[in-house]
């Protein structure tokens, strides 16, 4: 059994894996080139929405997302009690809103299979819809209400995890600089050289480097088709009653945070590793707000920001052991759902460290699936 584990990357995934591994008694070190949560994780809207994110079929990705949502209550309890901090987890429920009758047929079939998986979803129309969410545009015909979906304040969750990890004795190294080398020892174990630190060794390394994980190919000898997809996003000052649920439309989504801001997101742009905000990207969100949320029309945005989502070729993350490198594991490529998937990822990684692992889930997300073995 391994004793010591290095997490390479300190976003939500690296910190969640570190937290769970420390709870299970491992000596854990996190190596973060920049700031904890300074990339995609700090930029996320924090929606925990397995049903809204999966509308086609109950495939392995949906099942992974649902399992993670169902872990959230206990997960948040542990993080909050150990850190002593709130994560602003809100069980708001969600509304997927539609303007056209043509949308009704796909909505019915989606509601049917979502309910077979416990969604308790309902179709809501007319006055009932306006009573439930008064801020919606009046020409919205129908909505699918899903009471189980929730949201969390992603930067708050990152800070609480970082604090909880510190309290559990995790060695946290931010601003560790560039990764210079990883060497796998012949017997067992691994050493990592970062430009800002002296060489570190451990029994296992878990690659949690988000959109940058593809650069690890040269050390892991597997194909890692992960690429960045920029998400531009903005927020408006808000009052609690401005928006009661998460709302998803064909143009954008909106979520009202307890800190007094409605977050509206998000673009999906191919821009390499450029995480700057463009006027064009934000104007598209403002136009969608004007059209779907008349209360926001004419309001100035309070903040505008962007992050790089780690996208994969088939839309599923890479989680598990790396073939041919017994000391290496991956937990990367969570694309649009890394905040939602953080508890299940931490459990899967730590079950593998313990010598177990849910093989029914692990097959579809194997990090080796893109490599000709
Ligand atoms: C605008 C936007 C909205 C989103 N909304 C949601 C949402 O509502 N719900 C949801 O579930 N998800 C959402 N996501 C997706 C979610 O943010 C990501 O899936 C998740 O943050 C990925 O976490 P990560 O830890 O893998 O990556 P990151 O947060 O990017 O962390 C990776 C870290 O690794 C570090 N790193 C990279 N290379 C190295 C190296 N060689 N050595 C050391 N450190 C390294 C980086 O500096 C970085 O801090 C959103 C994303 C964006 C951009």
What are the chain's domains? Answer: 4-77+154-224+314-362 (3.50.50.60), 94-147 (no CATH), 226-312 (3.30.9.10)
The tokens of 200 are what?
A: 């570190």
The stretch 266-272 carries a mean pLDDT of 96
**β strands within the chain, DSSP E:** 4-8, 27-31, 47-48, 94-98, 122-125, 142-146, 150-151, 171-173, 179-184, 190-194, 200-202, 204-207, 226-237, 246-248, 253-257, 261-265, 303-312, 318-321, 328-332
- For residue 44 and ligand 1, the question of a CB distance below 6 A is answered with yes
Q: Which protein residue has the closest C-alpha to ligand 1 atom 4?
A: 44
Q: Which protein residue has the closest C-alpha to ligand 1 atom 37?
A: 209
Q: Is the pLDDT of residue 372 over 80?
A: no
Give the pLDDT confidence of 188-233 residue by residue, as tens digits.
Answer: 899 999 999 999 999 999 999 999 999 999 999 999 999 999 999 9
pLDDT at residue 241, as a whole number: 83
What's the Cα-to-Cα distance from 311 to each of 38, 213, 349, 350, rounded to whole Å? 18, 10, 20, 23
**C-alpha 227 – ligand 1 centre gap (Å):** 12
Taking alpha carbons only, the member of 97, 93, 116 closest to residue 107 is 97
SS3 89: coil
| Averaged confidence pLDDT in the chain | 95
Taking alpha carbons only, the member of 341, 276, 264 closest to residue 306 is 276
The stretch 320-332 carries a mean pLDDT of 97
- For residue 11 and ligand 1, the question of a CB distance below 6 A is answered with yes
Give the pLDDT confidence of 26-50 residue by residue, as tens digits.
Answer: 999 999 999 999 999 999 999 999 9
Mutation probe of ligand 1 site: the residue of 193, 309, 344 with most atoms within 8 A of C-beta: 309
pLDDT at residue 65, as a whole number: 98
Mutation probe of ligand 1 site: the residue of 6, 8, 39 with most atoms within 8 A of C-beta: 39
Taking alpha carbons only, the member of 348, 359, 260, 266 closest to residue 307 is 266
- For residue 310 and ligand 1, the question of a CB distance below 6 A is answered with yes
- For residue 96 and ligand 1, the question of a CB distance below 6 A is answered with no
Mutation probe of ligand 1 site: the residue of 339, 340, 341, 344 with most atoms within 8 A of C-beta: 339
Give the pLDDT confidence of 247-260 residue by residue, as tens digits.
Answer: 999 999 999 999 99
Per-residue confidence at 373, pLDDT binned at 50, 70, 90?
A: low
SS3 132: helix
Q: Which protein residue has the closest C-alpha to ligand 1 atom 2?
A: 44
Is pLDDT larger for residue 241 or for residue 180? Answer: 180
Q: Which protein residue has the closest C-alpha to ligand 1 atom 6?
A: 44
């Amino acid at each position: 059994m391994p004793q010591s584990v290095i997490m390479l990357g300190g976003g939500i995934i690296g910190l969640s894996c570190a937290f769970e591994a420390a709870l299970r008694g491992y000596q854990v070190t996190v190596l973060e080139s920049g700031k904890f949560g300074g990339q995609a994780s700090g930029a996320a809207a924090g929606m925990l929405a397995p049903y809204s994110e999966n509308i086609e079929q109950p495939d392995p990705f949906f099942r992974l997302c649902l399992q993670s949502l169902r872990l959230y209550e206990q997960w948040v309890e542990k993080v909050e009690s150990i850190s002593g901090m709130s994560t602003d987890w809100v069980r708001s429920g969600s509304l997927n809103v539609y303007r056209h009758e043509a949308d009704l047929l796909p909505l019915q079939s989606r509601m049917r299979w979502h309910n077979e998986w416990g969604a308790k979803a309902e179709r809501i129309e007319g006055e009932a819809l306006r009573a439930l969410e008064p801020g919606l545009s009046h020409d919205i015909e129908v909505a699918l209400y899903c009471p189980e979906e929730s949201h969390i304040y992603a930067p708050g969750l990152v800070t609480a995890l970082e604090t909880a990890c510190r309290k559990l004795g995790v060695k946290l190294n931010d601003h560790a600089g560039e990764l210079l080398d990883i060497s796998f020892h012949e017997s067992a174990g691994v050493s990592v050289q970062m430009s800002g630190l002296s060489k570190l060794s451990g029994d296992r390394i878990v690659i949690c480097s988000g959109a940058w994980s593809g650069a690890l190919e040269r050390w892991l000898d597997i194909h890692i088709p992960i690429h960045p997809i920029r998400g531009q996003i903005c927020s408006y000052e808000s009052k609690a009653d401005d928006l009661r649920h998460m709302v998803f439309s064909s143009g954008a989504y909106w979520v009202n945070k307890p800190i007094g801001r409605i977050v509206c997101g998000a673009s999906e742009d191919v821009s390499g590793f450029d995480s700057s905000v463009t006027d064009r990207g934000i104007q598209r969100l403002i136009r969608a707000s004007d059209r779907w949320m008349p209360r926001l029309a004419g309001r100035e945005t309070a903040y505008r920001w962007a992050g790089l989502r780690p996208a994969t070729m088939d839309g599923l993350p890479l989680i598990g052991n790396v073939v041919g490198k017994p000391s290496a594991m991956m937990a990367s490529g969570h694309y649009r759902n890394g905040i939602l998937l953080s508890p299940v990822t931490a459990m899967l990684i730590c079950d593998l460290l313990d010598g177990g692992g849910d093989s029914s889930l692990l097959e579809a997300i194997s990090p080796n699936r893109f490599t000709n073995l």
